[in-house]
């Protein structure tokens, strides 16, 4: 397939939002309040809407009969290249918000740069998506501050969540061969240049929320190479159920 690196680069972006959107979708009807429940569901829909644009473009590049649905839902686990952070479970509301915040800070910075891509389609998707992600970041940041500077219990829970999820943040900046090739062509974002800003922004808000910045230097990785945590199989079992049970189903 021509443009194989571009195809793989798109999957690297889209799979993050697909799996995080699926995780947030699990919370529909289970939020701590009606307003928050609806907000999390809307963020999930935003992410899945962005995913459609990416996968439609990927299907166009593949030009082999695949469409957005087959790319999204019919791959085996090892072909998904999302970072490990987004597949972590909704342990409690603190974990959900910590995961969202740690991804949102990255996602907003990434899309800010992707708007300058030499690929006009990716630049257009980024320009449309960043408006939504700006809200995602504001929402998750506000909750980090509310939980951190709230009760003793809420502070403890959000601190534990940040501590546990911190180990997955460094993978956001790892670069695959497709990433490196697209960066060299002016299409992709050099995420290594976002890393210092990312940790500065995250640390600043954690301190504002009266939370401690984790000092751990041990980080988990593997998702970008298709090596996932034990949670991924369960996510895909639910995500892919209809497509695999009723092949070629149409409404």
For the segment 169-192, what is each residue's pLDDT rounded down to a tens digit? 999 999 999 999 999 999 999 999
Is 8 part of a structural domain of the chain?
Answer: yes
* Contact between residue 117 and residue 123 where contact means Cβ atoms under 8 Å apart: yes
Is 55 part of a structural domain of the chain?
Answer: yes
61 token code pair: 């590049």
pLDDT of residue 2: 53
209 token code pair: 């929320």
Is 250 part of a structural domain of the chain?
Answer: no
pLDDT of residue 193: 96
Quickly list H helices, the chain: 4-25, 34-62, 68-73, 93-114, 120-148, 152-165, 177-184, 195-208, 231-239, 241-245
Alpha-carbon gap, residue 91 to 208, rounded angstroms: 24
The answer to whether the Cα torsion of 162, 167, 168, 173 is positive or negative is positive
Comparison of pLDDT for 22 and 37, the residue scoring more: 22
Is 10 part of a structural domain of the chain?
Answer: yes
Q: Tokens 């959900």 correspond to what residue?
A: 96
pLDDT of residue 86: 98
pLDDT of residue 214: 96
Which structural domain range is residue 29 located in? Answer: 4-245
The model's pTM = 0.95
Percent of the chain scoring above 70 in pLDDT: 99
* Contact between residue 184 and residue 117 where contact means Cβ atoms under 8 Å apart: no
Find, among 82, 81, 105, 85, the residue nearest to 96 by Cα: 85
H or E, element range at 219: none
197-244 pLDDT, tens digit per residue, is 999 999 999 999 999 999 988 899 999 999 999 999 999 999 999 888
Alpha-carbon gap, residue 102 to 206, rounded angstroms: 11
Is 251 part of a structural domain of the chain?
Answer: no
142 token code pair: 């506000």
pLDDT of residue 77: 96
Largest CA distance in the chain: 56
pLDDT of residue 30: 75
How large is the average pLDDT for residues 104-118? 98
The answer to whether the Cα torsion of 205, 211, 217, 219 is positive or negative is negative
pLDDT of residue 187: 97
Tally of CB atoms within 10 A around 199: 15
Question: Mean pLDDT across the chain, nearest whole number?
Answer: 94
Alpha-carbon gap, residue 48 to 239, rounded angstroms: 12
Is 12 part of a structural domain of the chain?
Answer: yes
* Contact between residue 21 and residue 47 where contact means Cβ atoms under 8 Å apart: yes
* Contact between residue 178 and residue 112 where contact means Cβ atoms under 8 Å apart: no
Q: How many domains does the chain have?
A: 1
210 token code pair: 């009266």
Alpha-carbon gap, residue 48 to 172, rounded angstroms: 19
pLDDT of residue 151: 96
Alpha-carbon gap, residue 104 to 17, rounded angstroms: 10
- CATH code for the domain in which residue 140 is found: 1.20.1260.10
Residue 36 has pLDDT above 90, yes or no: no
Quickly list H helices, 91-194: 93-114, 120-148, 152-165, 177-184
Residue 124 has pLDDT above 90, yes or no: yes
């Amino acid at each position: 397939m021509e443009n194989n690196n571009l195809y793989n680069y798109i999957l690297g972006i889209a799979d993050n939002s697909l799996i995080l959107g699926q995780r947030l979708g699990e919370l529909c009807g289970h939020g701590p309040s009606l307003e928050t429940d609806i907000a999390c569901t809307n963020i999930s829909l935003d992410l899945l809407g962005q995913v459609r644009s990416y996968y439609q473009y990927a299907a166009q590049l593949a030009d082999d009969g695949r469409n957005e649905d087959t790319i999204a839902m019919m791959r085996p686990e090892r072909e998904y290249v999302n970072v490990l952070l987004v597949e972590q479970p909704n342990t409690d509301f603190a974990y959900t918000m910590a995961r969202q915040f740690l991804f949102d800070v990255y996602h907003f910075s990434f899309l800010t740069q992707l708007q300058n891509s030499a690929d006009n389609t990716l630049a257009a998707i980024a320009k449309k998506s960043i408006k939504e992600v700006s809200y995602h970041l504001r929402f998750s940041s506000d909750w980090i501050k509310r939980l951190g500077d709230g009760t003793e219990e809420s502070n403890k829970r959000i601190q534990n969540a940040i501590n546990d999820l911190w180990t997955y943040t460094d993978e956001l900046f790892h670069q695959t061969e497709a990433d490196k090739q697209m960066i060299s062509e002016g299409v992709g974002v050099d995420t290594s240049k976002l890393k210092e800003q990312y940790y500065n922004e995250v640390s600043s808000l954690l301190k504002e929320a009266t939370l401690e910045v984790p000092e751990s230097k041990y980080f988990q990785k593997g998702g970008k190479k298709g090596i996932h945590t034990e949670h991924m199989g369960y996510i895909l079992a639910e995500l892919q159920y209809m497509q695999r049970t009723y092949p070629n189903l149409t409404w």
